[in-house]
Amino acid sequence: MDDAAQETLYLTFKTVIEDVIADKRRNPKNTKILDEFQARINMGLHVEEDFILWVNMIADAGNYSLNKGKLNEYDLEIIADPEDLMYFTNGEYSTMKMMTSKNRFGKRKLRYKGGTTGRNMGMLLALPKVLVLDTK
């Protein structure tokens, strides 16, 4: 994947995540989870058989930032195909489907591991409350 394609993917992914969080902010019932979610997450976007584009999300006191690269100290690491993440964020794919189904490369749709700060499984369970759009 060339640099221009990587930049386009990063900007698209960043926009999607920012839009999901902004949409969730419009509903007052989401305020508490968005403001209380504290995390440093490495997200691998599995775009080619042998290439993963790494981005990181930092959530702190209701502020969210998405940047390129991996964090050295993080709470959780996930890897997924960007298309699968899109279906996850729009609610078409459930957490269970993401954890048990295979992606186009024959790997689980959502792979995860604990971070340098521990396993943090609660963070993995809370992540859909932040990243998945509310159903109307």
Q: For residue 135, is it within any domain?
A: no
User: Is 83 within a domain?
Assistant: yes
52-94 pLDDT, tens digit per residue, is 999 999 999 999 999 999 999 999 999 999 999 989 988 899 9
115 belongs to a structural domain: yes
Give the tens place of pLDDT for each residue, 4-40. 999 999 999 999 999 999 999 999 999 999 999 999 9
Overall number of domains in the chain: 1
Q: How many helices (H) and strands (E) does the chain have?
A: 5, 5
- Look up the domain containing 58 and give its range: 3-128
Q: Report the alpha-carbon distance of residue 6 to residue 44 in Å, rounded.
A: 12
In a domain, 77, yes or no: yes
What six digits make up the tokens of 107?
């790997």
CATH number, domain containing residue 69: 3.30.1050.10
